[in-house]
Structure 1
């Protein structure tokens, strides 16, 4: 009877991940999920500058000058060097073949990428304006974040553990048993995502170069998710 009870609960709860230790006696395996949503308080900007010139050194110099102007502007905004990444350079020649088969050069392209972490969203507008003024001409999607990520992931993990235990107790109760001592716990995985709320709930960041032409950036809620798998002894 005890063997049948264990088999029935495992069929409902699912088989443990490979490598997860299982007890010899009756047990139940469950997985739990936890999620915490918050408004972001930081943003990472992904920008780049691309310059073309018939001379490779000139293309690089023009890109470097735009980056240097932007870095100077960031310093004035109080952005720390530790929050800036601007070390990469991609320099390439644009070539083609003429009808005669002769190789023809159309000049050189120099591209540099910059990532900037802003720890205060109220600087968003000023930094984007500074990038445009400096000659930055490539803008990727901003990545919104929370400075409390470690704390929030811990909260999501605790919720996942509670969810796994609740499921184990519900399953055991259906077979006139109850979940006993915890035998093993595994972290199945964690993730971070963005979620846009409904109208009226959506936060925005307004970006403008003039008072007559504002632009709105949608500010999502950040979701921190955690999944765990747990094995409990069964007791009758």
Structure 2
């Protein structure tokens, strides 16, 4: 009885699979990419304050004083309060194997959303004078990100359709309607990294240009399945 039921189940499953395959229309699956290259007009700047010493309270106090000065400076520059915020705060005990003693390391990170790149040098010099001693990275962005993403998506679909048309023409067939669309887009922004601000201390009146934002690429990737006619 069990063998009969198993054989019946296999037969039904095989028939169902065959029906699905028979009902699946001929199709072609292609990938498309769209890219929009723009000049950035904003930046995310991650700065930090780090102090090391033998006493936890002392290094924390030094860090707190520097952070307070930095926040007051940013407020004085008329930056919107929502455009700068604390990201990480830590106080750790470390061991110096050379001197065979423990030290404490206090650190805090602040992220600044700079909406006007012309203020970049002034902001970096200002936070340095206030007590920042590390810069973790600068990420260049655009204020019209959603607009450019939309343009990139349209280009990605056009690219996918062009590929599909090329293939179907070579096969001697016609391209039908789109059956499935999968968005595979991922946003990536190049990050300029540095580890310290000690070497940055340039003359405030210097005419040297210290920022080269270049261009950023907004890309969209899509997979589209088309029916073949």
TM-score interval for Structure 1 and Structure 2 normalised by the shorter chain: 0.7 to 0.9
User: The residue matched to 1:168 in structure 2 has which SS?
Assistant: helix
Higher strand share: 1
Instruction: Quickly say closer, same or farther: Cα 1:75–1:98, change in 2 above 3 A.
Output: closer
Within the candidate set 125, 132, 135, 1:136 is matched to 132
* Mean Cα deviation higher: 222-231 or 212-221: 212-221
Q: CA deviation at 1:190?
A: 2.5
Structure with larger Rg: 2
What are the within-5 Å matches in structure 2 for residues 78-157 of structure 1? 78-96=78-96, 104-157=100-153
Q: Does residue 228 of structure 1 match 2:226?
A: no
Contact 2:139 2:190 in 1 (8 A): no
User: The residue matched to 1:25 in structure 2 has which SS?
Assistant: coil
Within the candidate set 196, 208, 214, 1:214 is matched to 208
- For normalisation by structure 2, the TM-score amounts to 0.79
Structure 1 unaligned blocks of 5 or more: 1-22, 196-206
Higher helix share: 2
Q: Does residue 71 of structure 1 match 2:63?
A: no
Q: CA deviation at 1:147?
A: 0.9
Q: CA deviation at 1:97?
A: 6.2
Distance 2:64 2:91 in 1: 12
Structure 2 unaligned blocks of 5 or more: 1-22, 192-200
Question: How far does the alpha carbon of each residue in 1:65-123 deviate from its partner, in whole angstroms, 9 at most, with x for none?
Answer: 10110111111111122111215221112325699xxxx53432111111101011111
Q: CA deviation at 1:28?
A: 1.2
Q: What's 2:56 paired with?
A: 56
User: The residue matched to 2:168 in structure 1 has which SS?
Assistant: helix
